[in-house]
A and B are shown apart, each in its own frame.
Chain A
Amino acid sequence: MKKKFEISEHRLVPKHTKLSDKEKEELLAAYQITNKELPKIKKNDPAISSLEVKEGDVIKIVRPSLTSGESTFYRGVVNV
């Protein structure tokens, strides 16, 4: 029996979550940006393979940081 390796459970992979449409609107409004200005993440990136994302979604990433302990980062899903 071969169990599929779940990449998001690995300790070195930071937590990726999908923002709801409302959260996304708020985020874009807060920074006064459109999807274009967001950092990108590819749709088929292994880290978000279990999230069921589509182009234009925003992924929230919480990762450990040397300077601030924990930092939040956002990426817009693209398919290029």
Chain B
Amino acid sequence: MAEQEQPTPIEEAAEPASSEVIIPEGSEVPEDVLEESEVPPSTDKSPKVRIDPEEQIAGKSVRSIIFSVFSPKTIKQMSSAKIVTPELYDKEGYPVDGGLMDIRLGVIDPGLKCKTCGSKLKECSGHFGYIELARPIIHIKFVPLIMTLLKCSCQGCGRVLIPKNKVDTAKKELGRIEEELGIEERRRSVKDIITNLKTINKCPWCKSKQSKIALEKPTTFLENEKRISPIEIRARLEKIPDEDLELFGLRPQNFRPEWSILTILPIPPVTMRPSITLESGERSEDDLTHKLGDIVRINQRLFENINAGAPEIIIEDLWDLLQYHVTTYFDNEVAQLPPARHRSGQPLKTLSERIKSKEGRIRHNLAGKRTNFSARTVISPDPMLGINEVGVPFEIAMKLTVPERVNEWNIAYLKNFVKNGPKKYPGANYIVRPDGKKKKLTEETIEASVEELQPGYVVERQLMDGDIAVFNRQPSLHRMSMMCHRIRVLPFKTLRLNPAVCNPYNADFDGDEMNLHIPQTEEARAEAEILMEVQTQLISPRYGLSVIGCVQDSISGLYTLTKRSDIDRKLALDLLAATGIEDFSRLPKREKVSGKEIVSVLLPEDFMFFGEKRSDLGVEGKEKEDITVIIKDGKLLSGVLDRNNLGEGSGLLLRTIHKKYGKEFSLDLLGKLFRLGIEVLLRLGFSVIISDTDLPEKARQEIKETLTQADREVEELISLYHNNKLDTFPGRTLRETLELKILEVLNRARNKTGEIAATHADRDSPTMVMADSGARGNLLNLAQMAACVGQQAMRGKRIDKGYRGRTISAFKREDFSPHARGFISNGFKSGLTPFEFFFGAMTGRDSLMDTALRTPKSGYLYRRLANAMQDLKVEYDHTVRDAGKRIIQFSYGEDGVDVAKSENGVINVQRLFGVHGGQD
């Protein structure tokens, strides 16, 4: 890792005026690094010999990087042209000599040769030029530094305002601050030290008086409310002696402060600001060229005016204008300046904007690399795939390739791929000769290629079943967002996955797209397989339970299956066979078997489990015994399997199996259970109809009575309120008390109607099965359909928006009755009144807005967290430390538990010591 050995003089080292130079500490470092990547794999060796890439790597490492600033002298030295005119092209459309598109600055047109180095387009990376500024200009990015330097150095002699005898202690103190808090804090602290020493007003060296210096943003410095010209500032900075600069953490050989006042401006090569030729033949210049044109133009005018002896006012104005142009050239988003714009009014994208933020060079081009050997399409479900498989369309499988090296044992096998070529599956798209030359396979080259093939060649063959791929869905918030799957090449055009892995990816099929990557080396494949394959990711490191479980239909299916005890043996065998079971010996030999016995066939024979209770709401009689899951010797004795035991992130059933039988077995079992659930529904049928929510007349009557009773109670409360007889709650006004009491009454009524609906609903109806098993929906949803939707609330209150004193103009003012304030007493099935519907639309819109606003907010919050914690790591002594080895936690999570190896964050100590099997 490159280490920063000395303080960086300046952070914004990326602009040309302060371009970074990488100075190798040990002299030859960068050349060697470059060489490694530039030498083609073979230059000196015969093509037949396999080249070991290790041999090419010279053992050098970067010890340090120093960022520094160009001095005016260096800028002149490295320039190949002096720019003197804002014109770009002459009448023939040829670049003007001394113009911004001068051909000495590099080539951007194909066919031309660079006038400086003689190379062609793409070979010549361009050359810098420079302009001489008529008057010094302040570099906007150095303003804070200039400010500190001016404030901390004597205005007469240039020495730092620290007495001789205190310099050493100050240096030590500053060194410590820099180490702990960074270079910026060091510079800030110099001023604090001087303030503490009370030398801010009088120089301890030459005893001259110091006046106050202020900054008028962005670039004007004031002394006693009078402007100091950049010339004066430059003169003062020049006076600061080298040894005093070290106090500020600056290295004088790399950065003299006067260099931050520009006298010479480097002109970047044309290659970094290429012009584009439009269809009409017109040339459109880059934003930077536009900006540089402004600078050169104003600079020339300034020169002319100075030479002509123009009045001071005109010169000052032009100087300020030049300062504006140079400032916006570096940064067009300076707070106090209006951004420079195109004629169309859109702001120019100048140097800073090229670098920073999401679309900037760093995050977009450097951190955000694009990748080959990857695919992306819409996803769709396929429960017949294994959980660790991914279905890949033929179209994709025939584009993506896996490189395989030919040897004497596999040559026949690989020749078959080459024979098929790129158009016949399974074929090959490229062959690579041992010298590294890649050859594309086409109809014409197939025959020659087959002949040519011999050990040492590499065949890039098309994807096949069983190949390894990394599958990913953004946002990748988790490590489970990127898992390794086995490929299954399938017809049609979507990527397919088992619906059980939707959870870790947080995927659904309403148009989601996912990415697929094909590792290209043996090492990468091994890594993906061992560290990332789905079965290795079963237990969540967040809560220590399975992240993959049965979902939706599968849960409904297993629930119905385990509830029934009268299944024909024929059907049972059919189900098991469809699930992939071949050994039926564990199924009891009876005409009728129970669902529990069918599930038991899947379970391992020595499995013991005592499971969580599911919700026992409304369960009576015989069924009451069925609410706890008991598995003994691999037999499901009692209990209905539902989401509490099979779902992701809930229940210990899956966790226990994983612990006892390992990841491969759990994945296999999960796959089989999942399929069993689906097969059950496939055979028995499962449809939701509106009459699922039908209630008997008696229940409907009851609901109606409950609601009228609530209405009466609210009416009473309102009359109490009007007569001032309501007891106010502490800390509430009378009005608030009324609202709270009404809300309470209405809530109670709604809950009661819900209960009525739940008790009278047909427990075997598909709607109830889904709610009860936890597959989809809940009792509240059912109650809203069958009985009463309930109070619509916005921000925890009944709806009171709309007109003055009322929600809808059809009501009277100050009408506090339920129906005027958003209480929906109808159910969805009986239908809503227009007013009720309107209230529903209000809250619906409100919650839609809320989610739309919350998503980006939480996304950004997550990004900040992830960035802040990215280098934290648990060390071998259980401490959590950052990259600087500073301790963050003394024991990971304060209890030192690795959640991924725990059961729901807890360690079962009883089982650890074998106390009655840990199960009880």
Binding site for B on A (CB under 8 A): 31-33, 36-39, 65-68, 71-74, 80
Cβ contact within 8 Å between B885 and A67: no
Cβ contact within 8 Å between B894 and A67: yes
Taking the closest CB of chain B, its distance from the CB of A37, in whole angstroms, is 5
Cβ contact within 8 Å between B887 and A39: yes
Nearest chain-B residue to A69 (Cβ)?
A: B895
Mark each residue of chain B from 248 to 263: 1 if its CB lies under 8 Å from any CB of chain A, else 0: 0000000000000000
Cβ contact within 8 Å between B180 and A80: yes
Cβ contact within 8 Å between A68 and B894: yes
Distance A38 CA – B887 CA, assembled complex (angstroms): 6
Question: Is B202 at the interface (CB under 8 A from chain A)?
Answer: no
Distance A39 CA – B879 CA, assembled complex (angstroms): 12
Question: Is B481 at the interface (CB under 8 A from chain A)?
Answer: no
Q: Is the interface of B mostly helix, strand, loop or mixed?
A: loop
Cβ contact within 8 Å between A65 and B890: no
| Listed residue (B180, B181, B887) with the most chain A CB atoms within 10 angstroms of its CB | B887
Beyond contacts A33-B885, A33-B887, A65-B895: 5 other A-B pairs, Cβ-Cβ < 8 A, are A36-B180, A39-B886, A68-B893, A68-B896, A71-B895
Cβ contact within 8 Å between A36 and B894: no
Cβ contact within 8 Å between B893 and A67: yes
Distance A71 CA – B891 CA, assembled complex (angstroms): 9
Given contacts A31-B877, A73-B890, A74-B890, contact A68 B885 (CB under 8 A): no
Cβ contact within 8 Å between A39 and B888: yes
Question: Is B881 at the interface (CB under 8 A from chain A)?
Answer: yes
Given contacts A31-B877, A31-B879, A33-B885, contact A67 B890 (CB under 8 A): no
Cβ contact within 8 Å between B890 and A72: yes
Cβ contact within 8 Å between A67 and B897: yes
Cβ contact within 8 Å between B887 and A31: yes
Contacts of B879 in A (CB 8 A): 31
28 A–B contact pairs at CB < 8 A? A31-B877, A31-B879, A31-B887, A31-B890, A32-B877, A33-B885, A36-B180, A36-B886, A37-B886, A38-B886, A39-B887, A65-B894, A65-B895, A66-B894, A67-B893, A67-B895, A67-B897, A67-B905, A68-B891, A68-B893, A68-B895, A68-B896, A71-B891, A71-B894, A71-B895, A73-B890, A74-B890, A80-B177
Contacts of B895 in A (CB 8 A): 65, 67-68, 71
Distance A74 CA – B886 CA, assembled complex (angstroms): 12
Distance A33 CA – B893 CA, assembled complex (angstroms): 20
Distance A36 CA – B893 CA, assembled complex (angstroms): 22
Taking the closest CB of chain B, its distance from the CB of A36, in whole angstroms, is 7
Contacts of B888 in A (CB 8 A): 39
Contacts of B177 in A (CB 8 A): 80
Distance A36 CA – B882 CA, assembled complex (angstroms): 13
Nearest chain-B residue to A78 (Cβ)?
A: B180
Cβ contact within 8 Å between B885 and A37: yes
Q: Kindly list the 4 A-B residue pairs having the minimum CB-CB distance in the complex, ordered from nearest.
A: A68-B895, A71-B894, A67-B895, A65-B894
Contacts of B885 in A (CB 8 A): 33, 37
Distance A33 CA – B887 CA, assembled complex (angstroms): 9
Contacts of A39 in B (CB 8 A): 886-888
Contacts of A73 in B (CB 8 A): 890
Cβ contact within 8 Å between B894 and A37: no
Nearest chain-B residue to A39 (Cβ)?
A: B887
Distance A65 CA – B895 CA, assembled complex (angstroms): 9
Nearest chain-B residue to A30 (Cβ)?
A: B877
Contacts of B886 in A (CB 8 A): 36-39
Contacts of A66 in B (CB 8 A): 894
Contacts of B890 in A (CB 8 A): 31, 71-74
Nearest chain-A residue to B897 (Cβ)?
A: A67
Taking the closest CB of chain A, its distance from the CB of B700, in whole angstroms, is 48
Mark each residue of chain B from 85 to 120: 1 if its CB lies under 8 Å from any CB of chain A, else 0: 000000000000000000000000000000000000
Contacts of B181 in A (CB 8 A): 80
Contacts of A80 in B (CB 8 A): 177, 180-181
Taking the closest CB of chain A, its distance from the CB of B829, in whole angstroms, is 44
Taking the closest CB of chain A, its distance from the CB of B183, in whole angstroms, is 16
Contacts of A68 in B (CB 8 A): 891, 893-896
Nearest chain-A residue to B179 (Cβ)?
A: A36
Which residues 854-904 in B have Cβ within 8 Å of A in the complex?
877, 879, 881, 884-888, 890-891, 893-897
Cβ contact within 8 Å between B881 and A37: yes
Distance A65 CA – B897 CA, assembled complex (angstroms): 13
Distance A39 CA – B177 CA, assembled complex (angstroms): 16
Taking the closest CB of chain B, its distance from the CB of A29, in whole angstroms, is 12
Taking the closest CB of chain A, its distance from the CB of B181, in whole angstroms, is 8
Distance A22 CA – B152 CA, assembled complex (angstroms): 44
Taking the closest CB of chain A, its distance from the CB of B172, in whole angstroms, is 15
Nearest chain-B residue to A38 (Cβ)?
A: B887
Nearest chain-A residue to B884 (Cβ)?
A: A37
Distance A67 CA – B894 CA, assembled complex (angstroms): 7
Taking the closest CB of chain A, its distance from the CB of B479, in whole angstroms, is 21
Contacts of A74 in B (CB 8 A): 890
Taking the closest CB of chain B, its distance from the CB of A63, in whole angstroms, is 9
| Listed residue (A33, A39, A67) with the most chain B CB atoms within 10 angstroms of its CB | A67
Distance A72 CA – B884 CA, assembled complex (angstroms): 22
Distance A73 CA – B886 CA, assembled complex (angstroms): 14
Nearest chain-A residue to B181 (Cβ)?
A: A80
Distance A39 CA – B896 CA, assembled complex (angstroms): 18
Cβ contact within 8 Å between A37 and B891: no
Contacts of A67 in B (CB 8 A): 893-895, 897, 905
Contacts of B881 in A (CB 8 A): 37
Nearest chain-A residue to B878 (Cβ)?
A: A31
Which residues 515-571 in B have Cβ within 8 Å of A in the complex?
none
Contacts of B905 in A (CB 8 A): 67
Nearest chain-A residue to B893 (Cβ)?
A: A67
Distance A72 CA – B894 CA, assembled complex (angstroms): 8
Distance A62 CA – B163 CA, assembled complex (angstroms): 46
Contacts of A72 in B (CB 8 A): 890
Nearest chain-B residue to A32 (Cβ)?
A: B877
Contacts of A65 in B (CB 8 A): 894-895
Taking the closest CB of chain A, its distance from the CB of B887, in whole angstroms, is 6
Nearest chain-B residue to A65 (Cβ)?
A: B894
